[in-house]
Amino acid sequence: MKLRVRFRKVGKIRFIGHRDVARVTERAVRKVGLPVTYSQGFSPRMKLSFGLALPTGYESDAEFLELPLAADAVRDGPNGPVIVCRSGPHDPCEHESEVATASYCTLARALTEALPVGMSVSAIVLTDGSGPSLQAAVRSCGWQFEIAGLEAFMATKAVEEFLASETVVTERVHKGKTLSSDIRPGVAALRVEESSERGAVLSAELSATPRVVRPSELVSALAPAHEMGIARRTHQWTCGAAGRAEPAVPAQCAQRHKEFHQWTNQR
């Protein structure tokens, strides 16, 4: 069995890299006392696997992590499987959402409290561990990003021209080499959402396979004279037998727990 964890990474912590995220996550898991499995050998490491890597400097509402559980970590309960940690048991909570899968909201709250400021867990679900890895399963990502200094009406015009084009060739540097490629097939949706004090705010759905398209490439194509502001990943989409879906959806009750915890800390 595996725990699939959805977490956020926003604010200043967006500047730490993927390896640092893995280290602080391992520390939080140990602090909560989750009985996860470890590798063998002289230097056992916690077995954890992440979804698509988030570029340093980007924010996200939809990061995913899978934790293989030890054999004695799960026991049967009257309402479903109970996750047993050193800090105590966590029963499934049937939250008020359209998702049928129960979320472990008290465990989400415990992990959030163990994580640094800017990282918070929004959903935890139990899976059987079958199927492809998260990295292989994700087909596209939702993004929201700013184009600094660009007015909304200019952004709208640029988006209309982009969507009307059959090909949009951009350049990127990969392993010291400059590569040119057509990113137009990798843009499933693109629109202007609003205008902030920093510039136009856009949303997009970009491919994750076979070619990952990043918001920074869109900015260079839409407004070459402007720079990208804050970019945030909002979704990671998979496509299976049940259709298009996210690996885990935030539970409303987990959000209420978090808001209550923040409120009590402010008092």
Question: All domains of the chain, ordered by start, with CATH?
Answer: 2-132+247-266 (no CATH), 136-244 (3.30.70)
Its pTM surpasses 0.75: yes
Question: How many Å apart are CA 173 and CA 177, to the nearest integer?
Answer: 5
What does each of the 267 residues of the chain score in pLDDT, given as a tens digit?
899 999 999 999 999 999 999 999 999 999 999 999 888 888 888 888 888 889 999 999 999 999 999 888 888 888 788 988 888 889 888 665 445 567 888 899 999 999 999 999 999 988 887 777 888 888 999 999 999 999 999 999 999 999 999 999 988 877 788 888 899 999 999 999 988 889 999 999 999 988 899 999 999 999 999 999 999 999 999 887 667 888 888 866 644 544 444 534 443
